[in-house]
Chain A
Amino acid sequence: MKYLDEFRNADIAKKLADDIHRITTRPWAIMEVCGGQTHSIIRNGIDQILPSGIELVHGPGCPVCVTPLDVIDQALAIAGQRGVTFCSFGDMLRVPGSRKDLFQVKSEGGDVRVVYSPLDAVKLAEQLPDRQVVFFGIGFETTAPANAMAVHVAKTQGLKNFSMLVSHVLVPPAIAAIMTSPKNRVQAFLAAGHVCCVMGMRQYPALAERFHVPIVVTGFEPLDLLEGIRRAIRQLEAGEARVENAYERVVTVEGNVPAQKMLAEVFEVCDRTWRGIGTIPASGWRLSEAYRDFDAALRFDVSGIRTLESPLCHAGEVLQGALKPNQCPAFGKECTPRTPLGATMVSSEGACAAYYHYGRFREADPVTA
C-alpha cells in the first residue's frame, strides 16, 4: 500500500537493525511515549530484532489507558441517563469503570454510539433536537483539535443539546513527570510523532536540556521506529541530549498552527489525574471559560461518584515503565482482554493488551511456505 509499504520494507529494516547492533556498546532503556508506537513495536516484533541490551519501555501515551476512573464513571453515569445519546470512539466502550463498562450501559438500554469523528456527534445533535448528545472527548494533543472544532461548531450553531465530557492529557508534562520519578529508568524518549504533528517541536528542547535526555520525534511504521531508536542510541552512545526529528515527512518545528489556535481558544490548561499514575500539574486541557456551557460534567449532575480501582491492577507501574505487563501478577490470569482489570488491557494501544495479544510467542522458526 502506497505510503505504508515503503516504511515496512524488510530489507531496509534489516539494514537499520544491523546498524543499531553496530553502534550499540551497552544497555540502554528507551521509552516510546505513544501507545500507537507500542502497538506497532509489538505487532511487528521490532523489539525482537534489537540488541538484547536495548530495552523498550512502554510509555503512558494511550489515551484510553490514562483516562481517570472517575471520568469513566462520570461517562457511565451520563450515558445511562434517559434522553442522553452518548457518543464515543470505539475502544472506550470496553474500558472498565468501577462497576461496569459502556457496553453494559448499552445493553441496559443506554443509547451509546460509536462515532468516527466528534463532528459526527455534532451532526447527531442537530438531527436529534429532543435528545442531549454527549461526546466523550478524551485523548492527547492528537485528538484534541477535532474535539475543539466540534465544540466550536456547536457553539457557532447555537446547539443547546450538545456537550462534551473532556479529559484531555498532554505529553510534555508527562515526560517531565517520568523523569522526576524516583523509579525512573528511562534514558531516552521516542516522542509521539502525531502529537508533534499538531503541536510542533518547540516544547521539547527545554525538556531535553533540563533532564539531559535525548528526545527523538518518531513515527509509527517499522522503519520509522527503527530509525527513531537508531538516532536515540546514537545520541546516548555519544553522550548527547538533543531533540531530533525522525518523522520529517509529517512533523515540522512549528506544527499545525491553525489547530493550535483552535485549541488555545476552546481549551485551557489544567491539572489532570492520570489513571494509575496520579495527578500531574498542568498536564491536561479542559474547556475554557467561553465554552464552559458545553462541559458535560457541569451540565449533568455527576458529582459524588465514588470510584473503586481493582487492588490487583498494576497498570500505573506499567504506564510509568516500572513494570513490564507480563511481570504483573494478574497478567493473563485475573486480567485478560475479556476481563480487564485496568484500561491497559483494553485498548489495542494499551501495553498489557499488546503483550497479551502479540507478545507471548516469540521464537518460532521461519516459515518455509
Chain B
Amino acid sequence: MAETLDFESWTCPLPLRDYPRVVLGHGGGGKLSEEIVEHLFVPAFGNPTLNALGDASLVELPPGHVAMTTDSFVVRPLFFPGGSIGELAVNGTVNDLAMAGAVPQFLTAGFIIEEGLEMATLGAIVQRMAAAAKRADVQIVAGDTKVVERGHGDGLYINTSGVGVVPAGVARIGPDRARPGDKVIVSGTIGDHGIAVMSVREGLEFETVIESDCAPLGTLAQSIVDNTGRVHVLRDPTRGGLAATLNEVARQSKVSIIVEDRQVPVKPQVQAACELMGLDPWHVANEGKLVAIVAPEAADEVLAWLRAHELGRDAAIIGEVRADRAGMVATRTAIGATRVVPLPLGELLPRIC
C-alpha cells in the first residue's frame, strides 16, 4: 500500500532494480511487463479489485446517476512546484467527476512511457498518484502500460478515466443551467497552476516559488451540492482559465456573465508573473479551483460553506448572471469601465514588450 513505501526517495524493489530505465520490453506483455505491474503499480495502487489483475475489473456502485469521464495528461515538465503529472492525472479526472456533482469512486490509469524514462522517476510519479488517489478517496482499479520508442513521447503521458456517482436526490448540475440573477463564486485564487508550470518550463526565475493549486475537489464540491437545486453550475477552470469557463457557461446557458474585476482573487506573485509575461490571469489554468453559479438567495450560504473547507478559504463572489447579451462575458475594470472577456484562442503567447 502507499504508506508502506517511501514517498520521495523511492527505490526499485527487485527485480526492477536490474532496469534503471524503462525499456521497450516493459510494455511488451511478457515477463518485464508482469514485473513492472507486480512490483511497481500493484504495490502503489493496490486494492482487492486491482490485485485480481483480470482483463476487466468488477466494481459495485451505490445508487444514483453514474458519472463517467476521461482525460489525458501531457504536462511538461513532469514535476513542477506543488505537484507532478501524477497528482494531475488523479485530480484532473476526480475534479471532472466532482463538477457533475458526483462522488468520485474509481479510476483507471493508462501509462504511455517513453523508452529510457528513469525507473525512479516513474516510481516517484506512481507514488504521487497513489497518494493523490488516497487523498481523493478513489481507487485505481484498472491500468495499462505501453512503452514507445525514445523520441516518441515527452517521458510519460498518462490517461485516466473515472467513474463517480451522483448521490440519489442531488439536483442536476450542468453548464447550461445558469439563470439570470445567479451569483458567480470562485473557490480561491486563480492562475496558480499555469504560472507554476510556466515558471519551470520557461526557466523563469521569480523571487518566490509559485506552487500549483493541484488538489481534489470532491469534498469541496460535495459540501455545497444538495437536494435543493440551488447550485446550478459547477466547473473547474482548467485550461483556458476562468475566462474560458465563464464563456462556455454563458454560451451554453444563453446568458451573459458580468464580473467585478477587483473581486477576483489573484495571488500577488501570480499577478506579478502575469504582468511580466504579458499574460492575463483570467486565461491561466487552475487545477484545484471551482466556479459555482448559484441561486442569488443561496450565495452567502454557499460562500460560507466553501470558506469552511481548507480548499475554499479564499472563495469570493465575483459576479452575476444577466439575461441580456447572451453568450457574453464582461468585467467591470478597476476604473469603473466595462470590457469584454474573450474566450482565449489557445496557446498563451508572452508579449514582445
Task: Kindly identify which residue among A8, A63, A91 contacts B335, using a CB–CB cutoff of 8 Å.
Answer: A8
B204 at the interface (CB under 8 A from A): yes
Q: Does A338 contact B (CB under 8 A)?
A: yes
- Return the CB mask of A203-228 against B: 1 if under 8 Å, else 0: 00000000000000000001000000
* Extra pairs beyond A116-B277, A348-B278 (5, CB < 8 Å): A1-B268, A139-B352, A140-B353, A347-B351, A367-B332
Whether the pair A10, B202 counts as a contact (CB closer than 8 A) is no
Interface set of B (CB-CB < 8 Å, partner A): 183-184, 202, 204, 258-260, 263, 268, 271-272, 275, 277-278, 317-320, 322, 325, 328, 330, 332-340, 342, 345, 347-353
On whether the beta carbons of B336 and A139 are closer than 8 Å, the reply is: no
In the complex, which residue of chain A has the Cβ closest to the Cβ of B274? Answer: A1
CA distance A322 to B268 in the complex (A): 40
Chain B residues with CB under 8 A of A142: 353
| Proximity string of chain A (334-350) to chain B, C-beta cutoff 8 Å, 1 when within and 0 when not | 00011000000001110
Docked pose: A338 CA to B352 CA in angstroms: 19
Q: Which of A10, A140, A358, A364 contacts B258 (CB 8 A)?
A: A364
Most buried by B among A13, A48, A89, A90: A90
Contact of A361 among B260, B338, B350, B352 (CB under 8 A): B338
- Number of A interface residues at 8 Å Cβ cutoff, please give it: 54
Q: Write out, one digit per residue, whether chain A residues 85-103 have a CB within 8 A of any chain B CB (1) or not (0).
A: 0000111111000000001
Contacting residues, chain B, for A92 (C-beta < 8 A): 352
A369 engages B342 (CB within 8 Å): no
- CB of B350 within 8 A of CB of A43, answer no
Asked if A53 is an interface residue, CB under 8 A from chain B, the answer is no
Bound-state CA distance A36–B353 (Å) is 8
Contacts across chains A and B counted by CB atoms under 8 Å: 130
Pick from B275, B350, B352: contact of A63, CB under 8 Å: B352
**Docked complex Cα distance between A142 and B337 (Å):** 29
Bitwise, A9-48 to B at CB < 8 A (1) or not (0) is 1100110010000000000000000001000001111101
- How far apart are the CA atoms of A92 and B351 in the complex, in Å? 9
Q: Name which residue of chain B comes closest to A365, CB basis.
A: B258
- Nearest Cβ on chain B to A98's Cβ, whole angstroms: 21
Complex CA–CA separation, A349 to B259 (angstroms): 23
- With A42-B339, A49-B337, A362-B338 in contact, do A369 and B184 touch (Cβ < 8 Å)? yes
Take A44-B333, A363-B338 as given contacts and tell me if A369 and B352 are in contact as well, using a CB distance cutoff of 8 Å: no
28 interchain pairs (CB within 8 A)?
A4-B275, A10-B334, A44-B335, A44-B339, A45-B336, A45-B337, A48-B337, A48-B338, A49-B337, A91-B349, A91-B350, A92-B352, A143-B352, A338-B345, A347-B352, A348-B349, A349-B351, A349-B352, A358-B340, A358-B342, A359-B339, A359-B340, A364-B322, A364-B330, A364-B338, A367-B258, A369-B263, A369-B319
Judged by a CB distance under 8 angstroms, whether A64 is at the interface is: yes
Say yes or no for A158: interface residue by CB 8 A criterion. no
| Cα–Cα, bound, A246→B204 (Å) | 32
Provide the residues of chain B in CB contact with A138, threshold 8 Å. 352
Q: Nearest-CB distance from B345 to chain A (Å)? A: 6
The CA-CA distance from A64 to B350 in the complex, in Å, is: 13
A302 part of interface (Cβ distance < 8 Å): no
Check if A337 sits within 8 Å of B352, measured CB to CB.
no
A294 to B278 alpha-carbon distance, docked (Å): 29
* CB-CB under 8 A for A10 and B335, given A116-B204, A368-B320, A369-B317: yes
A149 interface residue (CB < 8 Å to B): no
